[in-house]
Structure 1
């Protein structure tokens, strides 16, 4: 239970000077800031405390999610810490910050503070984006001596202790997006701190490890509040990140961080006058439960995307890799696939890995020249065939990878590669390029520009297949800082490539979805949601994907095969329709009945793709469990929506109370048996047959 008025001794003998960090600040200057869907109030602390966020609501009359809390915390080398736990809260420099001014400029509020002891200056930037805030901190060394940063929070938000559930997502190769929801009291148990005359140390955290930003956990979390507004957040980093929910003085403080010394070997030295800016944190407050929180995150993600005109067309891509050529392209293999993809309705056709070097797709990565002897008439003949069928050509690259046998591994300078302790980072036959180095960027600039000019490439699938570890220690103070610098340089390179080639689309892929974050997705068109080849196991991945990535960016593979039954073919295609349909498979061998199901799914997706691009995800049966027999995803687009239901077990009846009073009609497939729907009062009850089977419904 909470003890909001308790005064407990700390583990720190000097606790008294720090204990009031999250207590209600004395009356100071109030900063009120209102934007559409946002109402924030800060207290400047009257020169006695750091600036506190004291109110955050969806509007002036709406309930606040926030309890008083400082807006930033940071640690520097040699600084005093006031806690004995894994939390990053309560360091000396952060507690000494004092208000020096603020200004609001349209959708951006900037709050300035200074630590008079160290002389460091912090500017907290709150940028309104849709219903949420993109928050970042810039720390400047205003002293005459060097300053060494170890951690800086991107965002800090406290909520009163109470009835909260925490939602988080776990991930791994082929099993992305496994979401969990548990009461916060299960994760932060009441240890009776009064009895022990100590403060709570409770802390629950999720942290990335290495260069797969979503390889273990997803950089997103939600704190649901029973009967009140909920808080959702995401870390916008392709480097190290960390988020935590920590007990402190009757509150739970959510801290969102990029790389840190404690978790990612991050160190940043600042000479006098130098500055460091954190990775952004995206935060939303939503009145309502889980689905309202993810709806707010969806609108926030749309607000921060840099959408180009070519993105807005949402074209349908066929890719020759998944369960098809698997990195073994040739002219003879490609031509029948091209014909069938065009007949199915694809608008782009991507030649995946294996087209370069000597044809070994793994060890030759980095030599982005056509493999000799693989393509009769040359690779240009394949791309001419794609255009002749009315599609635009695409190609696969892994821009940061250089295979052990590639010429680039020998010709590029040592400083262009990740290194640790004076040796190149070497991971399963790959070296990692460091995009901070001009030679690395020039190597890829030349490849992209040449491929666009030589072949008319209109789509690049950019992959990332290895975890390069904590980073590189070249030209930085710690490998975590090296990884952060590289990923920022890589995003800049990607933006520059798009400026040079505004008509070209770029996919973000990371061995499936091992690097699925909005640092990159804010500038990329498409995100491959998995490498999962078992269509039965793709259902929970596709259904959970909109919690992490916008539906219109969620590249869900649909790879029908002649070995599948009619029902299994519809099951496999359903995943693609409920996102950004990413088509693959030997379509020409399906036979008329199965191929008709493909064409029908493609037509349905094309009819709905613009509505999908403004939809919000809803999970009528809850976020999918990895082994659930029945899985459902609804994409709500105003007064109408698409509802997909997958069956992977025995026949069952499932009630859909969230669709109370609405009309549910089967939309796909039109020629397979209709799943029966009865009414229990005004609640639809769906009869789900034994699986594998799937249906898509329209809801009005």
Structure 2
């Protein structure tokens, strides 16, 4: 709900309130963002200005206590006495960089603010979403800013974006324009950011917000595995489950920038938007520029509260409507089984085995087109390889459909090899600076999506394959960062990075909006482009090329702060793992991947009968609890011991708790498993998921354990507890007296890298 009373704006979601007002001098003063309050006199929360401060510049000499440098603002101007980082830097027609934007008018509309070129959130019917437009005008130049606030009340998210209109007779140049900025009092905040690298994405970093500015950014051309655009702030007293916390993310897939500045007035200024480094944008007379949307949320229930708000927002308001709350299929991908070395008979044999194991979607990865027998050639030529598919790809897809499986294909449409028919025909379509030899990444160049002809080619090629084969799924990959940023189609190549992303969005819109039934999974050399912008086109993203489940615990937990498990594509792969050579039980590989969109990526011909039996059990369990695992409320429980992870999902009266350990030590004490959200005075049954053991791992040892002789699996066990919403502490992890005293629980039975899943349900009378 949005209200305006005497130039005070009250924005209310289900559990939060966001307030700001127009000051007597026309600036927007930020008042409050926190737990939901009843709209009231803003003087109760307004900041007092009772004296001038030394060298502080007064905005109006008639009011010497009023300074922009000490005012908590909603969107600051530049060069008029506010010496903090500015969200907006413009080169005016007169050559100056000074701006002075003040309130002009506002309007409140039902629904979501529309955007012609950029992704945006969508609203659910009957949820009361609204958009507030506040128009600011520069006091000297005929330039206006529209600040758009969209409230999605059920998700407890507010989106913000800016539209700049040039109403002068001359062009102006944007050097920086942030999607959102606001100032708030410091509460001893810690910053939670998510940086990493290839195969090590979304590492959770925590640092105090101290004097100065922290900059989080990407310069790769994408939202980046180096720094995800999302971040969180937690107040000094906050934990995973308690205290004040804020979340910020960007519906954008290109170079981004967030700035967190602590000032000497003990305010924190937050801003996020397009990366200003190497960015300039000329706005011609009569034209406008719109920023991506920023998503903001707050919770007084700690970091889990913020995450749960974002999860609901993505599931309800971001992913394509056709896939909102729709169960995702279990995938088999042939890549780690065959790489480029396959033919239709080999693939069909894998498809038959995948079907027998409970898989629902068979995906053919790289190598099905052109002369693509390795990664040095063929990229860009999406004609089917007749040697690998002598009967044609449509016939093969129909054959796999006959097994009862859906079928998907891998594409990398934004890239091209120099050794390809496409490059030989159109070398000018590859991104490069004239006169400079372009640098290669993985033997490939980037196609120039700022050129309409390139966009048309990609749309035609991918659409033709989808339509002629009848595939159900597309994996859209991008396996290198963007360099040599130049296009002959642009008058100013400082606009290249943003125009490339606009071109990408145009291509995705043209391919997938008319084909809403096609499941799009995006990928960028793993999680190099895991962002809200891409999720508006496809509901799931390949989170990392590292399929080692012990590494994935860290990656998937990092992702969980910003993204729901329904968006996290997670595969079970071979052991030893191909990235780390680590040996991990199949049970743990399946348990970790179950807290996401489950898939398999291994040579099925190498499986033992025991492996096959366990995978069938995994897929059956996942299908039984799929909706809960993909869409249930996700909670991170702090680890009681180092190198432990404890996750939970809950929906209604059922929960699944996961306990994972990366390392076992001798003489380890009792563990406890927290489970939240249980109903008081209700008796619950906690059943551990049966899982097989690797007998070869315990050769010799089992011969001396009478209780273990002849066993090939850890049996199901049940305990009974009264739900209190608190810790279930007494012996929860010790429900199988199976090995030596003191080492008897299921996790320790598997030693290092062990895990167990527990299903918690009300006891049946």
What is the TM-score normalised by the length of structure 2? 0.78
Query: CA 1:152 to 1:89, structure 2 compared with 1: closer, same or farther past 3 Å?
Result: closer
After TM superposition, the structure 1 = structure 2 runs for residues 465-614 of structure 1, keeping only pairs within 5 Å, are 465-469=479-483, 471-476=485-490, 479=493, 481-560=495-574, 568-614=585-631
Q: Aligned residue for 1:5?
A: none
1:117 aligns with 2:140: yes
Q: Aligned residue for 2:75?
A: 72
Query: CA 1:391 to 1:665, structure 2 compared with 1: closer, same or farther past 3 Å?
Result: same
**What's the offset of the Cα at 1:65?**
11
Q: Aligned residue for 2:121?
A: none
Unaligned runs of 5+ in 1: 1-26, 190-201
**Contact preservation (8 Å) 1:49, 1:95:** no
User: What secondary structure does 2:168 align onto?
Assistant: coil
Query: CA 1:89 to 1:489, structure 2 compared with 1: closer, same or farther past 3 Å?
Result: closer
**What's the offset of the Cα at 1:462?**
0.4
- How far, CA to CA, are the matches of 1:58 and 1:301 in structure 2? 21
Q: Deviations over 1:287-319 (max 9, x none)?
A: 221111111111222233243436654342434
Q: Deviations over 1:418-469 (max 9, x none)?
A: 3335658542222212223221122122222221233212111100000013
1:39 aligns with 2:17: yes
- How far, CA to CA, are the matches of 1:408 and 1:74 in structure 2? 48
Q: Deviations over 1:629-657 (max 9, x none)?
A: 32222223344322222222114443334
**Contact preservation (8 Å) 2:231, 2:247:** yes
Pick from 130, 148, 156 the counterpart of residue 131 of structure 1.
156
**What's the offset of the Cα at 1:277?**
0.7
Aligned residues: 646
Q: Aligned residue for 1:229?
A: 244
Q: Aligned residue for 2:729?
A: 683
- How far, CA to CA, are the matches of 2:187 and 2:221 in structure 1? 36
User: What secondary structure does 1:654 align onto?
Assistant: coil
**Contact preservation (8 Å) 2:674, 2:727:** no
Query: CA 1:250 to 1:540, structure 2 compared with 1: closer, same or farther past 3 Å?
Result: closer
1:207 aligns with 2:217: yes
- How far, CA to CA, are the matches of 2:456 and 2:9 in structure 1? 47
Unaligned runs of 5+ in 2: 48-70, 91-96, 111-129, 679-683, 693-712, 734-744
Q: Which moved more, 1:57-66 or 1:487-496?
A: 57-66
Q: Aligned residue for 1:104?
A: 108
User: What secondary structure does 1:390 align onto?
Assistant: coil
After TM superposition, the structure 1 = structure 2 runs for residues 373-392 of structure 1, keeping only pairs within 5 Å, are 373-392=387-406
Q: Aligned residue for 2:166?
A: 141
After TM superposition, the structure 1 = structure 2 runs for residues 317-356 of structure 1, keeping only pairs within 5 Å, are 317-356=330-369
After TM superposition, the structure 1 = structure 2 runs for residues 611-690 of structure 1, keeping only pairs within 5 Å, are 611-621=628-638, 629-651=643-665, 652=668, 653-657=670-674, 659=676, 664-669=686-691, 671-672=713-714, 682-683=728-729, 686=733, 687=745, 688-689=747-748, 690=751
1:259 aligns with 2:305: no
**What's the offset of the Cα at 1:585?**
1.4
- How far, CA to CA, are the matches of 1:269 and 1:664 in structure 2? 62
Q: For the aligned residues, what is the CA RMSD?
A: 3.2
- How far, CA to CA, are the matches of 1:422 and 1:609 in structure 2? 54
Query: CA 1:41 to 1:318, structure 2 compared with 1: closer, same or farther past 3 Å?
Result: closer
User: What secondary structure does 2:663 align onto?
Assistant: coil
**Contact preservation (8 Å) 1:56, 1:65:** no
After TM superposition, the structure 1 = structure 2 runs for residues 160-239 of structure 1, keeping only pairs within 5 Å, are 160-184=185-209, 188-189=210-211, 202-225=212-235, 226=237, 228-239=243-254
Query: CA 1:470 to 1:153, structure 2 compared with 1: closer, same or farther past 3 Å?
Result: farther
Q: Deviations over 1:96-126 (max 9, x none)?
A: 1100011111211111001122322000011
User: What secondary structure does 1:219 align onto?
Assistant: coil
Q: Deviations over 1:328-362 (max 9, x none)?
A: 33223212210111111222111000111112342
Query: CA 1:283 to 1:420, structure 2 compared with 1: closer, same or farther past 3 Å?
Result: farther
Q: Aligned residue for 1:694?
A: 755
Q: Deviations over 1:229-280 (max 9, x none)?
A: 32101122211111121023221111112121xx3x0001112111111111
User: What secondary structure does 1:69 align onto?
Assistant: coil
Query: CA 1:480 to 1:594, structure 2 compared with 1: closer, same or farther past 3 Å?
Result: farther
Q: Deviations over 1:56-91 (max 9, x none)?
A: 23422499999863222466xxx688548xx44586
- How far, CA to CA, are the matches of 2:175 and 2:480 in structure 1? 27
After TM superposition, the structure 1 = structure 2 runs for residues 270-281 of structure 1, keeping only pairs within 5 Å, are 270-281=283-294
Q: Which moved more, 1:311-320 or 1:368-377?
A: 311-320
- How far, CA to CA, are the matches of 1:65 and 1:232 in structure 2? 22
Query: CA 1:674 to 1:537, structure 2 compared with 1: closer, same or farther past 3 Å?
Result: farther
**Contact preservation (8 Å) 2:7, 2:21:** yes
Q: Which moved more, 1:470-479 or 1:203-212?
A: 470-479
Pick from 23, 27, 33 the counterpart of residue 56 of structure 1.
33
**Contact preservation (8 Å) 1:567, 1:694:** no
Q: Deviations over 1:172-202 (max 9, x none)?
A: 1111121122333xxx15xxxxxxxxxxxx1
**Contact preservation (8 Å) 2:144, 2:164:** yes
Pick from 228, 252, 255 the counterpart of residue 240 of structure 1.
255
Query: CA 1:311 to 1:395, structure 2 compared with 1: closer, same or farther past 3 Å?
Result: farther
Query: CA 1:121 to 1:331, structure 2 compared with 1: closer, same or farther past 3 Å?
Result: same
Q: Which moved more, 1:374-383 or 1:204-213?
A: 374-383
Query: CA 1:545 to 1:32, structure 2 compared with 1: closer, same or farther past 3 Å?
Result: closer
**Contact preservation (8 Å) 2:526, 2:542:** yes
- How far, CA to CA, are the matches of 2:182 and 2:398 in structure 1? 55
Q: Aligned residue for 1:30?
A: 8
**Contact preservation (8 Å) 2:337, 2:601:** yes
**What's the offset of the Cα at 1:660?**
9.2
Structure (1/2) with the larger helix percentage: 1
